[in-house]
Amino acid sequence: MPVPKKRVSRSQRDQRRAHDALTLTAAIESCPDCGAPKLRHRVCDACGSYRGKKIFADNDTASSADE
């Protein structure tokens, strides 16, 4: 198993991670119910369904901050 030769300093580590936020590494797939793009393992923002279940109602009418 490969082992890093030297400990990476906080500065080096953080410089490497500076661009991590720019690209979304989480998988984006389309919702099986409405077809809108959604993040994997997340409730669909557009229709509010997850794995065939309705978690919250469509937010077409009221966009309340209820989770």
- Residues interacting with Zn ion, by CB under 5 A? 31, 33-34, 36, 44, 46-47
**Cβ closer to Zn ion: 22 or 62?**
62
Least separation in angstroms between residue 33's CB and Zn ion is 4
CB of 67 to Zn ion, least distance (A): 17
Q: Distance (Å, rounded) from C-alpha 55 to C-alpha 43?
A: 7
Any idea of the CA torsion for 33, 39, 43, 46, to the nearest 10 degrees?
A: -60
- Report the 10 Å Cβ neighbour count for 31: 17
Is the Cβ of residue 13 or residue 42 nearer to Zn ion in the bound state? 42
